[in-house]
Homo-oligomer: A and B are copies of this chain.
């Protein structure tokens, strides 16, 4: 069984990739919808929340964890691994960095992220650790999450294309051949983003993490191949509206039950 958690529902785009790559695995997903967003919290609070999220997942029989939240990936991964040394834990930041470093040819890499992710410099730090030669251009894209969550996701949405043009202008001008979609919401509007930066490789960080997870699961022979995997969804706020937003991320209707938990108890 694979555990996936995020501060909200964006991580469902990573879940979709995990299901595609590991269709026989059971999955437990936790979205901390009652405490979203994490990006504006203090580091101490982020670590406390991350540990509670991990404790909840660990109360299931999990073999590995995908951390679909950029804020947790950059602030708490080391601590989570210390507390759970026997569980492989993959974060979207490191996986996205490695995928981008592999994809670029001209070494000009753009990073699109939420204001807090861009402010943290987490992707930059990871890229510079791989090579000091990368030219990195970061751009905060505060309109992307509301556009996705309100369903402006069709490739023909003029307002989404316009937002992409505004937000990505410095990256386009710099001639980046690779663009990290540094938030699990962004792959949903990748077609609109591709319109304004057509020649760049778009890095889906959730998909990159899902691939690393698949490699680990396969290498360790952990995977179950007897039947199609089941998914259990948990959230920390009212589940109302979950189906609508979840279907945006998953590209299909959710038929599984969603359970609300009190995450403060973990």
Give the B-binding residues of A (Cβ under 8 A). Answer: 40, 42, 142-143, 145-147, 149-150, 152, 158-159, 162-163, 166, 237-238
Task: Give bound CA distance, A147 to B147, whole Å.
Answer: 11
The answer to whether B150 touches A159, judged by C-beta atoms less than 8 angstroms apart, is no
The answer to whether A158 touches B162, judged by C-beta atoms less than 8 angstroms apart, is yes
Which B-chain residue is minimally distant from A143 (CB atoms)?
A: B146
The distance from the CB of A109 to the nearest CB of chain B, in whole angstroms, is 24
The answer to whether A237 touches B163, judged by C-beta atoms less than 8 angstroms apart, is no
Which B-chain residue is minimally distant from A237 (CB atoms)?
A: B40
Interface centre among A143, A147, A152 (most CB of B within 10 A): A143
A166 — which chain B residues lie within 8 A by C-beta?
159
Interface centre among A145, A146, A147, A149 (most CB of B within 10 A): A146
Beyond A142-B146, A142-B149, list 15 extra A-B contacts (CB 8 Å). Answer: A40-B237, A40-B238, A143-B143, A143-B146, A143-B150, A143-B152, A143-B159, A145-B146, A146-B146, A158-B162, A159-B159, A159-B162, A159-B163, A159-B166, A162-B162
A145 — which chain B residues lie within 8 A by C-beta?
146
A163 — which chain B residues lie within 8 A by C-beta?
159
The distance from the CB of A210 to the nearest CB of chain B, in whole angstroms, is 28
Interface centre among A159, A166, A237 (most CB of B within 10 A): A159
The distance from the CB of A147 to the nearest CB of chain B, in whole angstroms, is 7
From B42, B143, B146, B238, A238 is in contact (CB under 8 Å) with B42
Top-6 shortest CB links A-B? A146-B146, A142-B150, A159-B162, A143-B146, A142-B146, A159-B163
A146 — which chain B residues lie within 8 A by C-beta?
142-143, 145-146
Which B-chain residue is minimally distant from A158 (CB atoms)?
A: B162
Task: Give bound CA distance, A44 to B205, whole Å.
Answer: 39
Task: Give bound CA distance, A162 to B143, whole Å.
Answer: 13
A150 — which chain B residues lie within 8 A by C-beta?
142-143
12 A–B contacts, CB within 8 A, in A order: A40-B237, A42-B238, A142-B149, A142-B150, A143-B143, A143-B146, A143-B159, A146-B146, A159-B159, A159-B162, A159-B163, A162-B162
Task: Give bound CA distance, A150 to B163, whole Å.
Answer: 12
Task: Give bound CA distance, A143 to B151, whole Å.
Answer: 11
The distance from the CB of A193 to the nearest CB of chain B, in whole angstroms, is 15
Task: Give bound CA distance, A162 to B157, whole Å.
Answer: 11
Task: Give bound CA distance, A158 to B166, whole Å.
Answer: 10
Which B-chain residue is minimally distant from A240 (CB atoms)?
A: B40
